[in-house]
């Protein structure tokens, strides 16, 4: 069954949404959307570094995404004006990455697969890594769930309860870097943040608790993944963007209900 590239692609999309649903909810609650962008864009630089050093692409993206995420989290803790800082970092990382990748002629032709993903070419090994990474993120979030929610609602309440909000923030940062590394192959660096934000935003108007929102976001992400795959096959459109198009359509539908 796993021999079929479509089955592998479908499973990869579903696996990814297990992580992006809950993590995307935190990205929305904590207003980290731009932060997600910066981390995702840094992944392109990670691709270039991995090629230069002959390391696996996944390891390169994970390392650079983690470095970017920790840098940004550190800067924000020191009270920098975040939109400017993130704007500089996010786009610089992308530009540096694109320039660096161009030094590898074999990759240049293949660049779009890193920018927009190449889910139809997911191998068995990559599929296993997607699920492993997604389940790791899910387990990390589930383990710290109560503390993460408390720190997200109010850092003071978390402090008073003996929790350390800085540690919880670091956990989200690590989870974000993991998701970026996992999602690069599926939706590509440019649209990872969309995969985090749009399903969670669509889930918001139907949810009464944080848990319900996270679970619904997983469902919306999975439906978008499978729907995008279908759209891509039917209309011969690029798959990564098709997934986001379906997600955006679902979001539009739910926001109509929200207004009603």
Partner 1 sequence: MSLIAADHVCVRFGSDEVLHDISLRVDPGEIVTILGPNGSGKSTLLRALLGIVPVAEGRILREAGLRVGYVPQKLTIDRTMPITVRRFLSLPTRVSDAAAAEALARVGMAGQGGEQMTTLSGGQQQRVLLARALLGKPQLLMLDEPTSGLDQPGEAAFYRLIEEVRTQTGAAVLMVSHDLHVVMAASDRVICLNGHICCEGTPRVVSTAPEYRALFGLGTQGALALYRHEHDHDHKDGHPHHHHHDHDHA
Closer CB to partner 1, residue 142 or residue 157?
157
What are the CA-CA distances from residue 159 to residues 54, 134, 151 (Å)?
Answer: 44, 29, 8
Number of residues engaging partner 1 in binding (CB under 8 A): 28
Closer CB to partner 1, residue 9 or residue 218?
218
| Of the candidate residues 42, 98, 147, 175, the single one contacting partner 1 (CB under 8 A) | 147
| Of the candidate residues 17, 63, 113, 150, the single one contacting partner 1 (CB under 8 A) | 150
Q: Minimum distance from CB of 192 to partner 1 (Å)?
A: 19
Site for partner 1 in 200-239 (CB under 8 A): 201, 204, 207-213
| Beta carbons of 172 and 148 less than 8 angstroms apart | yes
Q: Minimum distance from CB of 16 to partner 1 (Å)?
A: 22
The token pair at 177 is 């870097």
The site string for partner 1 over 28-47 (x = CB under 8 A, - otherwise) reads xxxx----------------
Closer CB to partner 1, residue 68 or residue 213?
213
Candidates 91-99, 133-141, 146-154, 237-245 — which segment interacts with partner 1 by CB under 8 A?
A: 146-154
| 20 contributes a contact to partner 1 by CB under 8 A | no
| Of the candidate residues 77, 161, 253, 256, the single one contacting partner 1 (CB under 8 A) | 161
| 252 contributes a contact to partner 1 by CB under 8 A | no
How many CB atoms lie under 10 A from the CB of residue 111?
16
The answer for residues whose C-beta is within 8 angstroms of residue 242's C-beta and 6 or more apart is 228, 229, 231, 232, 235
Q: Minimum distance from CB of 114 to partner 1 (Å)?
A: 30
Closer CB to partner 1, residue 137 or residue 151?
151
172, 174, 178, 181: CA torsion to nearest 10:
110
| 153 contributes a contact to partner 1 by CB under 8 A | yes
Candidates 12-20, 26-34, 78-86, 123-131 — which segment interacts with partner 1 by CB under 8 A?
A: 26-34
| 154 contributes a contact to partner 1 by CB under 8 A | yes
| Of the candidate residues 86, 129, 163, 178, the single one contacting partner 1 (CB under 8 A) | 163
Q: Minimum distance from CB of 185 to partner 1 (Å)?
A: 29
The binding site for partner 1 (CB under 8 A) comprises 28-31, 146-147, 149-150, 152-161, 163, 201, 204, 207-213
């Amino acid at each position: 069954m796993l021999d079929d590239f479509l089955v592998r692609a479908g499973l990869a999309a579903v696996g990814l949404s297990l992580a992006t649903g809950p993590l995307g909810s935190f990205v929305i609650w904590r207003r980290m959307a731009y932060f997600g962008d910066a981390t995702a864009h840094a992944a392109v630089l990670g691709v270039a570094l991995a090629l230069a050093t002959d390391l696996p692409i996944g390891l390169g993206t994970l390392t650079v995404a983690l470095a970017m995420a920790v840098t940004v989290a550190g800067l924000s803790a020191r009270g920098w004006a975040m939109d400017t800082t993130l704007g500089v970092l996010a786009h610089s990382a992308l530009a540096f990455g694109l320039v660096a990748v161009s030094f590898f002629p074999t990759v240049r032709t293949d660049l779009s697969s890193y920018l927009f993903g190449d889910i139809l070419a997911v191998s068995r090994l990559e599929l296993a890594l997607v699920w492993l990474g997604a389940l790791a993120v899910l387990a990390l979030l589930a383990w710290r769930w109560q503390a993460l929610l408390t720190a997200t609602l109010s850092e003071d309440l978390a402090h008073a309860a003996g929790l350390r909000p800085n540690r919880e923030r670091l956990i989200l940062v690590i989870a974000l870097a993991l998701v970026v590394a996992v999602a690069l192959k599926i939706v590509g660096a440019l649209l990872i943040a969309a995969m985090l934000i749009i399903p969670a935003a669509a889930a918001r108007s139907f949810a009464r608790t944080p848990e319900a929102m996270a679970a619904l976001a997983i469902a919306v992400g999975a439906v978008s993944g499978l729907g995008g795959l279908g759209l891509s096959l039917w209309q011969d459109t690029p798959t990564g963007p098709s997934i986001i198009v379906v997600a955006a359509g679902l979001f539009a539908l739910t926001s109509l209900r929200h207004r009603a």
